[in-house]
Amino acid sequence: MGRTFSEKLLGGKAGKPARAGEIVTVSPDYILSHDNSAAIIKEFRKLEIERVKRAGKIVIVLDHVVPASSEKYAQNHKEIREFVAEQGISHFFDVHHGICHQVFSENGFALPGKLILGADSHTTSYGAFGAFSAGIGRSEAASVWATDEIWLRVPETIRIEMSGTLPAMVSAKDVILKIIGDHGADRANYKAVEFAGPAANTLSLSSRLVMANMAAEMGAKNGYFFPDEKTLTWLEENARSEYDVTVSDPDAGYEAVLAYDISVIAPQVACPHTVDNVRPVSEVEGTSFHQAIIGTCTNGRAEDLEVAARILRGKKVHQGIRVLVIPASRREYLLALQRGDLEVLAEAGCLILNPGCGPCLGAHQGILAPGEVALSTANRNFRGRMGSRDSAIYLASPATVAASALEGRIADPRKYT
Amino acid sequence: MSKGKAWKYGDDVNTDVIFPGKYTYSVLDPEEMAKHALEDLDPEFAQKVEPGDVIVAGRNFGCGSSREQAATCLKYAGVRAVVAKSFARIFFRNAINQGLPVIQCSEAVDNIEDGEDIFVDFSKGRIETAKGHFDFVPLPQSILLILEAGGLIPYIKKKIEKEKTHGANNA
């Protein structure tokens, strides 16, 4: 029997053939962290060693609360900057770059065949480029800084076989929400998710990032697409180093193969308070909300802002609805600015915020009061995540959020095609 | 053998309700973290939990964020172990790395009543409850070593020190 992508990649890194279920000790190509680097530094200091083992593998992006919103956050950032200087960490991206997953990707660190670890659960994102990338905790991150190695269990793989083409105003976000709703938040726990089939290649790299990002919401260890012409063309300009394309063998063993015809998928909405509480938009149309958010590491790219601008062009957002637009990075911000989309959104009454995580994790920039409801393009809607324990979050695609912002209630974007 | 009261919860207890994101960069002291443990799931938990108590939960315990404070806050609140039907993978690693034992045992979860005293024998892999005893597969030796050291950082520290001494002896 052939081997899956994860078996081949982790086996290659471990220097011996590996099968699902085995534990391997490996050295990552990159290790990412963000504002939590201050906490990782604290753990690292406890080890009483002076230098990180491989400064060149460490990537730090400040994004969670940027710019600092309080003295505590400012102190946090300051400690990170001092550590970066002390250890000679050159891959440091200060508060003006954007969300770590977008910044890491657009700077060419996310490459086919690389093993990437990140102290953030949405590290799964880099599978969009054919990397094996998984989230870890902060003790582990400190330990990797010190030792340059980690143990990982080789995951079993679930293959999502996609066919068809997306209908107008339906996006990768709707597909991944549909998959999560069908199979539950723990269907892929400890496992790899392979997004494949003829429809996979029709998706843009931005859309692949959406799905690999949200593989985490199925519990996945990693989620990935195989590199194709789109990936390789993009990498010609942007890859930071050499890379090896790794793909599953045709006769690889899968734990399950789940087939999806994406041409019949309707816009989907994840209802409070779990990401797998998914309904088609027709079942929640008319639900009222107070704040809309278009942004985050899931859906804050130029592609997402473009579709929102298309719906809101020449119109005004519904009175009483606050619409926050948060580009995922400075680069995506500039792209949307040059295309005129930010102007359209600002004209429509949206509040354009600086690139970063924004209110997604409830730290700043748009916290919800008790009784308030948000409709967001983010990836998580757990109780209390964006503020009050008595607030609620619905998750949807940028098109659904834009159409809903216009109508003041959850709406089907397909009528704006 | 460890004795403790069971606090029973359902499926998909996520990291946001265990330790809200709004505290992740503002509450840094583990004792302070403990005061917010399970705040958005069971606001009374942090005040009433006693050292040695055990959390008993359904599937996918600890899903969501990679924030390690979810494990830290439970440990410092006095929680001796978490028994669940399954754990989200990052939480599973984080708990071990914080020195908090995680036990997967669906049968025990189904039979434990909220509030009852249960007994856990970690080395034998057995949980004793009012309805009888339930066996679980004890964690592998390599992981027990991390738990015994009190977590990954003290474990790695010891390892690095040993390597240093070893290196010095060879020199």
Q: Residues of A with CB below 8 A from B157's CB?
A: 46-48
The 10s digit of each residue's pLDDT in B33-77 is 999 999 999 999 999 999 999 999 999 999 999 999 999 999 999
- Give the pLDDT confidence score for residue B168 in this predicted structure: 66
**Strands A291-295 and A373-376, sheet pairing:** parallel
Q: Above 90 in pLDDT, residue B123? A: no
Q: Which of A120, A140, A395 to mutate to test the interface with B (most CBs of B within 10 A)?
A: A140
Residue B40 makes CB contacts below 8 A (sequence gap 6+) with: A383, A384, A389, B16, B17, B20
Strands (E), chain B: 2-8, 54-57, 81-84, 102-104, 117-121, 126-129, 132-135
**Band (B88; pLDDT cuts 50, 70, 90):** very high
Question: How far is B34 from B71, CA to CA, in rounded Å?
Answer: 10
**Band (B170; pLDDT cuts 50, 70, 90):** low
**Band (B164; pLDDT cuts 50, 70, 90):** confident
Q: Residues of B with CB below 8 A from A24's CB?
A: none
Terminal-to-terminal C-alpha distance of chain B: 44
Q: Which of A46, A135, A136 sits opposite B153 (nearest CB)?
A: A46
Q: Above 60 in pLDDT, residue B171? A: no
Nearest to B91 by CA among A134, A25, A137: A137
Q: How close B171 gets to chain A, by Cα (Å)?
A: 20
| pTM as predicted | 0.95
CB distance A406 to A388 below 8 Å: no
Question: Quick one: tokens of A76?
Answer: 């946090």
Q: Which of A151, A221, A362 sits opposite B89 (nearest CB)?
A: A221
Does domain B2-138 fall under CATH 3.20.19.10? My reply is yes
Question: How far is A151 from A217, CA to CA, in rounded Å?
Answer: 23
Q: How close B104 gets to chain A, by Cα (Å)?
A: 14
**Residues 128 to 157 of B: which have CB under 8 A from any A CB?**
142, 151-154, 156-157
Q: Which helix (H) or strand (E) holds B166?
A: helix B152-170
Please judge whether A380 and B16 are an interchain contact, meaning their C-beta atoms are less than 8 angstroms apart: yes
Does domain A269-416 fall under CATH 3.30.499.10? My reply is yes
**Residues 8 to 67 of B: which have CB under 8 A from any A CB?**
12, 14-17, 20-22, 24-26, 28, 39-41, 59-60, 63-67
How many inter-chain contacts (A to B, CB under 8 Å) are there? 127
Question: How far is A276 from A408, CA to CA, in rounded Å?
Answer: 24
Equal fold, A24-260 vs A269-416: yes
Question: How far is A217 from A211, CA to CA, in rounded Å?
Answer: 10
Q: Which of A43, A80, A385 to mutate to test the interface with B (most CBs of B within 10 A)?
A: A385
Residue A327 makes CB contacts below 8 A (sequence gap 6+) with: A98, A295, A300, A301, A302, A305, A333, A336, A342, A352, A355
Q: Which of A139, A189, A274 sits opposite B68 (nearest CB)?
A: A139
The 10s digit of each residue's pLDDT in A97-148 is 999 999 999 999 999 999 999 999 999 999 999 999 999 999 999 999 999 9
Name the CATH superfamily for A24-260: Aconitase, domain 3 (3.30.499.10)
CB distance A158 to A193 below 8 Å: yes
Choice between B26 and A278, residue whose per-residue pLDDT is larger: A278
CB distance A377 to A87 below 8 Å: no
Where exactly are the structural domains of chain A?
24-260, 269-416
Residues of chain B with CATH 3.20.19.10: 2-138
Question: How far is B151 from A124, CA to CA, in rounded Å?
Answer: 25
Kindly identify which residue of chain A lies nearest to residue B16, measuring between CA atoms.
A385
CB distance B49 to B78 below 8 Å: yes
> Is the CB of A201 inside 8 Å of chain B's CB atoms?
no
Q: What is the mean pLDDT of chain A?
A: 97
